C-alpha cells in the first residue's frame, strides 16, 4: 500500500515538473513573439535625415571616370553670318560649389516634405513634415503610422512635386526645385533608428559661357529653345524608382551675360558666364536645342537674331541632377594666310596653321601674326642721312606709298642704288629682321619662296583699314598737327577688332603697355620714319626719330 502511494506521488510530481517546464517555455516564446511583433511609430520612432546632392556632385572630378564624364563634346563650328562664327562645345559643369553657396542651398531646401513607406509593393503609410538643417520633423496633424518590423522602401519628396497614388509628377517649371529621394531595403527592427535620404533634383540645369577676344562692352542676352518636343513633365514611379516623360514645347527664360571690360589692353581673351542657370527635364536631347541671341553686339556686329543649333557629338542626354556648361567661343571670320600657302577664312580652315593675317585681298598683302623683335630702324651714321630712294613728306603721299618690298629688297629702293637693306644686319637691323623673319613653322606651297619685308606706311595702313575699319579718307582729312611730316592724331577706328585678329589664333596682343604700334619703312626726313600707333578706339600717324627702337610687323605679298 505504501509502495503504491509512493509511485503515485512520484508520478504526480513528474507531471507537475513537466507542466511547469512547458509553461515556462510558453512564457519565453510569448516574450520573443512580443519583441518580434512590436511596432514602431513612423513619425516618432524613425529619424529621417536628408542630404541634398548638389547638381553634378555624383561626378568624381578627380578620378578617371570623371575625366571621361567631363570631357567637352567635339567642337562644332557654326556660321553666324555678318563675318561672325562660333565654336561650340558642351560639357559637364564641374565648377566647385563654394561653402557659402552650399549653406544657401541647404537653407533653400528647407520646406515641407512627405515620407512614404512601402513593403512588398504596398504602401504602408506616409508622414508629412518640415525639414530644417537636413532633419525631418513630422507635423502634429499626422495620424499615427505603425510599422511592424520588416524590410521597407522609403520615398521622400518635397512640395514642388505632385502626387497621385504611387506616381509623382514634376512640371518643367519646377524642375529646378523639385526634390525626390529613395531608400530601399531598410530593415525596420522595432526600435528607434535613422533613415537617411540623398535628395536629388528631378531635373538638370545648364548655363552658358561666352568667350571672345575683345572686351564685352554691352549686355548680351540669349535664350535656349527647341522646335521639336522636349520633356515637359516627369512622372516618377515610387514603386520602381524610375522616370517617364511627356513632351511639350521648350523655351527658357533669358540668359544674361555680365560685362567684361577688364584689362582691355593686356588680356588674351575675355569671358562672361551667364548669371543664372536655366532648368530642363532629365532626358532632354541636347541635339534638339538651339541658342538664340536676343540682344547685345560683339565685334561691333549685332547679335540679336543669330542662332546656334546645339548639335553635340557624342550625343548628349541630360541626366537627373546633371549640370551642364555650353562653351561658345565667338570669333571674327578674318582671312588668314596659312603655312601651306593657302588663304581663307578662319572658320573654314580650323585644321591649318595661320602665319599671317590678310590685310588686303585685292593686293594679296598679309601681315605677320608674330611680331618681330625690337630692332633699330638703322644704326650709326645712317641715323642722320637719307637712306631710301625718296622721302615722303606729306600725309597724302604717305598713304599711297606701297614700296615696302622695294625699300627692303631692291637696290633701287636705296638712295645709292646699290644697298640691299635686307642684307644689312648692322646698318639696317629692322629691315634685316623683317626680311629674315621666321614665323616659327615650316612654309610650303610656294610660300617659302615669297619675301617678307618691312612695310611702307601705305601698306601698314591696310592693317588699320582692313582689320580695324579705319578710313583712308578720314586719316587724310584729319591732321591736327603739322611739322616736318604732317602728323595725324586720334582718328576713330576699332583697335580692339584689329587686336582680336591676332588673339583669336593664339598670338600675342598687339598692344605694348597701353598702345599698339607698327613701324614703317617709309622715310619722312633724313632723321625720321613714319609710324602708326593705335589704341582701342583711335589711331595716329606720326614720324619718329631713327634712333628709336621700334615694333615691326613684317609683311608679305603672297
Residue 3 makes CB contacts below 8 A (sequence gap 6+) with: none
Q: pLDDT tens, position by position, for the chain (558 residues)?
A: 434 433 443 344 333 334 443 334 444 444 444 444 578 888 788 899 999 998 886 554 333 344 445 678 899 999 999 999 999 999 999 875 544 445 445 555 788 999 999 999 999 999 999 998 888 998 877 777 889 999 999 999 999 999 999 999 999 999 999 999 999 999 998 788 999 999 999 999 999 999 999 999 999 999 999 988 899 999 999 999 999 999 999 999 999 999 998 888 889 999 999 999 999 999 999 999 999 999 999 999 999 999 999 988 888 899 999 999 999 999 999 999 999 999 999 999 999 999 999 999 999 999 999 988 778 999 999 999 999 999 998 888 888 999 999 999 999 999 999 999 999 999 999 999 999 999 999 999 999 999 999 999 999 999 999 999 987 676 666 555 444 455 666 788 999 999 999 999 999 999 887 788 999 999 999 999 999 999 999 998 888 899 877 788 999 999
Which DSSP string do the residues of 145-161 spell out, in sequence order?
-EE-SEEEEEEEEETTS
Residue 12 belongs to what H/E stretch? helix 2-36
In the structure grid, which three cell numbers stand for residue 417, read together? 642704288
Domain with CATH 2.60.40.2620 in the chain: 40-56+98-201
Q: Distance between CA atoms of 171 and 202, rounded to whole angstroms?
A: 10
Give 57's DSSP letter.
Answer: T
Q: What is the CA radius of gyration of the chain?
A: 39
d(CA 457, CA 472): 12
CA distance 272 to 455: 37
Count the alpha carbons within 13 Å of 212 in the hemisphere toward its beta carbon: 27
**Which CATH class, in words, describes the domain spanning 74-90+204-333?**
mainly beta
Question: Do 178 and 158 meet the contact criterion of CB atoms below 8 Å apart?
Answer: yes
Picking from 541, 550, 522, 533, the residue whose alpha carbon sits closest to that of residue 379 is: 550
Distance from chain centroid for Cα 347: 19
- CA dist 72 and 67 (Å) reads 10
Q: Does domain 40-56+98-201 have CATH number 3.50.50.60?
A: no
The DSSP result for 166-227, as a single string, is TEEEEEGGGTTT-EEEEEEEEEE-SS-EEEEEEEEESEEEEEEEEEESS-B-S-EEEEEEEE
What letter would DSSP give residue 66? H
Q: Kind of pairing, strands 193-201 and 40-41?
A: unpaired
The CA dihedral of 64, 67, 70, 74, to the nearest 10 degrees, is -140
Beta bridge partners of 47: 194
Euclidean distance between CA atoms 384 and 374, whole angstroms:
20
Q: Which grid cell sits at 141? A: 496633424
Cell numbers at 547, concatenated: 634712333
Quick one: three-class SS letters along 75-104?
A: CEEEEEECCEEEEEEEEECCCCCCHHHHHH
Amino acid at each position: 500500500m505504501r509502495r503504491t502511494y509512493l509511485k503515485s506521488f512520484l508520478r504526480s510530481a513528474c507531471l507537475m515538473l513537466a507542466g511547469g517546464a512547458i509553461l515556462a517555455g510558453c512564457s519565453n516564446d510569448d516574450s520573443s513573439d512580443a519583441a518580434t511583433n512590436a511596432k514602431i511609430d513612423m513619425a516618432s520612432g524613425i529619424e529621417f535625415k536628408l542630404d541634398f546632392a548638389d547638381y553634378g556632385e555624383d561626378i568624381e572630378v578627380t578620378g578617371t571616370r570623371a575625366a571621361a564624364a567631363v570631357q567637352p563634346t567635339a567642337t562644332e563650328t557654326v556660321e553666324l553670318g555678318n563675318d561672325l562664327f562660333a565654336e561650340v562645345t558642351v560639357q559637364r559643369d564641374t565648377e566647385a560649389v563654394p561653402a557659402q553657396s552650399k549653406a544657401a542651398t541647404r537653407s533653400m531646401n528647407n520646406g515641407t516634405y512627405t515620407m512614404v513607406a512601402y513593403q512588398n509593393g504596398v504602401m504602408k503609410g506616409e508622414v508629412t513634415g518640415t525639414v530644417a538643417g537636413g532633419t525631418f520633423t513630422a507635423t502634429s496633424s499626422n495620424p499615427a503610422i505603425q510599422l511592424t518590423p520588416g524590410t521597407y522602401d522609403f520615398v521622400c519628396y518635397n512640395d514642388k512635386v505632385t502626387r497621385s497614388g504611387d506616381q509623382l509628377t514634376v512640371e518643367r517649371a519646377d524642375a529646378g526645385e523639385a526634390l525626390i529621394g529613395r531608400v530601399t531595403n531598410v530593415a525596420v527592427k522595432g526600435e528607434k533608428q535613422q533613415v537617411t535620404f540623398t535628395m536629388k533634383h528631378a531635373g538638370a540645369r545648364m548655363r552658358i559661357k561666352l568667350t571672345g577676344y575683345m572686351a564685352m562692352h554691352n549686355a548680351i542676352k540669349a535664350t535656349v529653345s527647341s522646335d521639336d518636343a522636349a520633356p515637359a513633365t516627369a512622372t516618377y514611379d515610387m514603386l520602381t524608382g524610375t522616370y517617364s516623360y511627356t513632351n511639350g514645347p521648350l523655351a527658357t527664360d533669358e540668359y544674361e551675360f555680365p560685362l567684361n571690360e577688364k584689362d582691355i589692353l593686356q588680356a588674351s581673351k575675355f569671358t562672361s558666364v551667364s548669371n543664372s542657370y536655366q532648368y530642363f527635364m532629365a532626358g532632354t536631347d541636347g541635339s534638339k536645342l538651339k541658342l538664340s541671341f536676343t540682344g547685345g553686339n560683339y565685334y561691333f556686329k549685332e547679335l540679336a537674331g543669330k542662332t546656334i543649333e546645339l548639335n553635340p557629338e557624342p550625343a548628349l542626354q541630360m541626366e537627373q541632377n546633371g549640370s551642364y556648361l555650353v562653351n561658345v567661343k565667338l570669333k571674327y571670320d578674318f582671312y588668314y594666310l596659312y603655312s601651306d600657302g593657302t588663304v581663307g577664312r578662319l572658320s573654314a580652315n580650323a585644321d591649318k596653321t595661320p602665319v599671317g593675317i590678310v590685310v588686303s585681298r585685292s593686293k594679296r598683302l598679309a601681315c605677320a601674326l608674330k611680331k618681330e623683335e625690337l630692332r633699330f630702324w638703322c644704326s650709326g651714321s645712317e641715323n642722320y642721312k637719307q637712306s631710301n630712294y625718296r622721302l615722303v613728306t606729306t600725309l597724302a603721299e604717305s598713304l599711297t606709298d606701297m614700296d615696302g618690298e622695294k625699300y627692303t629688297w631692291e637696290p633701287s629702293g636705296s638712295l645709292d642704288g646699290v644697298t640691299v637693306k635686307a642684307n644689312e644686319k648692322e646698318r639696317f637691323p629692322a629691315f634685316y629682321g623683317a626680311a629674315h623673319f621666321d614665323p616659327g613653322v615650316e612654309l610650303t606651297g610656294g610660300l617659302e619662296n615669297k619675301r617678307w619685308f618691312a612695310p611702307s606706311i601705305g601698306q601698314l595702313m591696310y592693317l588699320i583699314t582692313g582689320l580695324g575699319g579705319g578710313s583712308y579718307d578720314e586719316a587724310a582729312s584729319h591732321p591736327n598737327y603739322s611739322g616736318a611730316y604732317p602728323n595725324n592724331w586720334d582718328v576713330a577706328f576699332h583697335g580692339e577688332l584689329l587686336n582680336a585678329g591676332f588673339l583669336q589664333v593664339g598670338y600675342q596682343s598687339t598692344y605694348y603697355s597701353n598702345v599698339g604700334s607698327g613701324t614703317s619703312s617709309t622715310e619722312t626726313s633724313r632723321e625720321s620714319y613714319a609710324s602708326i600707333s593705335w589704341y582701342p578706339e583711335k589711331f595716329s600717324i606720326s614720324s619718329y626719330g631713327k634712333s628709336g627702337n621700334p615694333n615691326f610687323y613684317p609683311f608679305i605679298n603672297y
